[in-house]
Structure 1
Amino acid sequence: MGSRHILGELHPDTLTRMQNLANVYSHLGKYKEALQIEEPLVKNSKQILGEQHSDTLTRMQNLAISYSDMGRYNEALRIEEPLVEKSRQILGEQHPDTLTRKQNLADRYSKVGRYNEALQIDEPLVDISKQILGEQHPDTLTRMQNLANLAVRYSNVGRYEESLQIHEPLVEMSRQILGEHHPVTLTRFQYLAISYSEMGRYEAALQIEEPLVEKSKAILGEHHPDTVIRIQNLADRYLKVGKYHKGL
């Protein structure tokens, strides 16, 4: 018999097992099924454990992520904005969970086009992450990448030089920490090339993208979605520099 029958619907262990099941659904891409568990789970967690219990905060965060996975960004934001404030008050400004929730909030702002608000979170978040977790921690590197992407991708922000100042050392750190052929390193090479291209430095982009396509084919395979995108980026860059026969 399951936890519900033995312990009851509202027992803390039942809530934990429901959350675990929702996490499995989410990892499998079954977001609707995850959501069907998480919505009542948050309500029950607030009722049994309280609004400020760490498990309740985590369940609110998971629910917001599920909304975002389904493209329901405004519903995610309605959870994440107050969640960041609660996390600051209960766990502190520099707690790893608070940092993660700030990053999620910045990501959501970016999804709905609120780029300046995303930047206002991302910029100090990178500095805090360096201080708390260290310059080479994977979460710090990810946050540096997010900040660089945000700065370069949107014309209404257009901070290309600043983006480049993050992307260039980030690629080097990724090479040293993860290795030349790690998929994350390849992705960071790709973003660096895009930064060069956005600045009109097409030849610099090409010097990255030509070997990147070959590495991507060798490591991920010719038909991997990331490889396909990199082949398309390379073709676009050939067209930019007038190498039309290569871009075909």
Structure 2
Amino acid sequence: MILTNCAACAAPLAHNAPRCVRCWTRYCDATCQHDHWRRGHKQMCKKIHRGGNAEQYYADKKYKESVAVAAEACAEDTKGQTCYICTQALHWKTKEGLVRGCACRGTAGFAHVSCLAEQAKILLAEAEENNLDVKVQSERWVRWYKCSLCEQRYYGVVLCALGWACWKTYVDRPETDTARRSAMTQLGNGLSEAGQHEDELTVGEAELSMERRLGAPEARILDVQNNLATTYSMLGRREEAVSLQRDVHSGKIRLFGGSSKEAIIAAQNLVDTLMKLGHHEEALPLLLETIPKSQRVLGKDHEQTFKLQRMHAQILIGKDCASLDDLSLVVATLEDLDRRQRRTQGPDHPQRKMTQVCLDFARKRALLARKRALVRAL
């Protein structure tokens, strides 16, 4: 359930709140339903019903809006190109423009969101119809968020559009359906990438409530809590975020071990919030412990390793007592990180741009430290 507020008064709803018998729009009670009917729902009810009822109608509407935003954001980059899937510039049915939000460069990676979504939908449908195992289905699910050409994650408004595409594809399935539950996570991740954190919070809280109601395994609950904590942090609710992230981190270590991918990602999220709170004395030892684990388990060129190394550099740069040698080492580390990110993620990836900002600041601090050293030498 993503529509978590009453359509009439916007009050939060329980998962079993009453709804319109025709279009399934949800309300606090009969009073709100009658009021909404008089204020215009009478004219919209049949249209919403024909559109697949409230959740499906809303998902389709948000999908179209997000695709338009993504195509507009990518318009300059995609000018004169064609979709690598359907080979057309404009989609034959939707007339949408092209997008590219991955690590592809040159003339590669241009596509319509509709084509990317159809590709992912077909791959998963084949796996389900042939009763392929969970591992195969998981491998195919990545097409909802990873490019099939460069194998890097989509980002920004492109991932947001794919999130809505994923949700609208599986929203009509039962709550217990695995694809529907994964689609809710995918939507939350997309909203996060687009900076729509209030909407992301709505999705995250609804997802956590649903998973607890369905009796999900602890590992699944921890995943949802991890995402929710990140949302809290982005909304400035950092004390709530760090408390939840400490619980998630310890839970991941207990379930999977301290060197697992799950524990590494939880540690990275915890460090991020600790740094935002200025708790560098707690963040630094955790970083020094986690970076070599990430390099060994995930690889030197994995996005989590990149983030951890950049965070470490940010803490060192921010130290008032940082020496010239320390700063020179940080600059060298960030230059190497920037080269590897350019090669792996592409020059326009948001994470690489963050590294560039950090590198520019490190160079300025190193230059200032060098000048001070020369002055003292004189």
Does the TM-score normalized on the shorter chain lie above 0.5? yes
Deviation string for 1:128-153 (max 9, x for gaps)? 00111111112211211111121112
From 259, 271, 281, the equivalent of 1:161 is 281
- Which of 271, 295, 318 does residue 198 from structure 1 map onto? 318
Whichever residue aligns with residue 17 of structure 1, its letter is: K
Provide the C-alpha distance between the structure 2 equivalents of 1:231 and 1:240, rounded to a whole number of angstroms.
14
Counterpart for residue 364 of structure 2: 236
Match of 2:186 among 58, 62, 77: 62
Structure 1 unpaired stretches of 5+: 1-8
| Partner residue of 1:212 out of 326, 333, 337 | 333
Give the drift of 1:32: 5.8
Q: TM-score, normalised by structure 2?
A: 0.50
Please say if 1:146 is aligned against 2:259: no
Residues 76/143 of structure 1: CA separation in 2 closer, same or farther (3 Å cut) = same
Give the structure 2 partner of residue 3 of structure 1.
none
Which of 146, 165, 171 is the equivalent residue of 1:37?
165
Which residue of structure 2 aligns with residue 17 of structure 1? 121
Partner of 2:231: 108
Partner letter of residue 312 of structure 2? Answer: L
Aligned residues with identical type, % of pairs: 17
- The Cα of 1:178 is off from its aligned counterpart by 4.9
SS of residue paired to 1:44 = coil
Distance 1:26 1:181 in 2: 18
TM-score normalised by length of structure 1: 0.72
Highest RCO, 1 vs 2 (Cα 8 Å, sep ≥ 6): 2
Q: What runs of 5+ residues in structure 2 fail to find an aligned partner?
A: 1-51, 53-117, 126-140, 147-153, 374-378
Q: Which residue of 2 aligns with 1:87?
A: 211
Seen in structure 2, the aligned counterparts of structure 1 residues 66 and 217 have a Cα distance that, compared at 3 Å, is closer
Number of residue pairs aligned between Structure 1 and Structure 2: 225
Residue 132 in structure 1 maps to residue 232 in structure 2: no
Aligned mates of 2:322, 2:358 — CA distance in 1: 15
**1:111 Cα offset (Å):** 1.4
For the structure 1 residues 228 and 158, does the alpha-carbon distance in structure 2 shift closer, same or farther, using more than 3 Å as the test?
closer
Structure-2 residue corresponding to 1:72: 196
* Structure (1 or 2) with the greater helix fraction: 1
Q: CA deviation at 1:69?
A: 2.6
Q: Distance in 1 between matches of 2:178 and 2:302?
A: 34
Shift of 1:18: 7.3
Cα deviations by residue, 1:77-129 (Å, 9 ceiling, x for unpaired) = 1121131132234344622x222211111111111111111112101110000
Q: Cα 1:18–1:120, aligned 2, differ >3 Å: closer, same or farther?
A: farther
Give how far 1:62 is off.
1.9
CA RMSD of aligned residues (A): 3.6
Offset, 1:176: 4.2
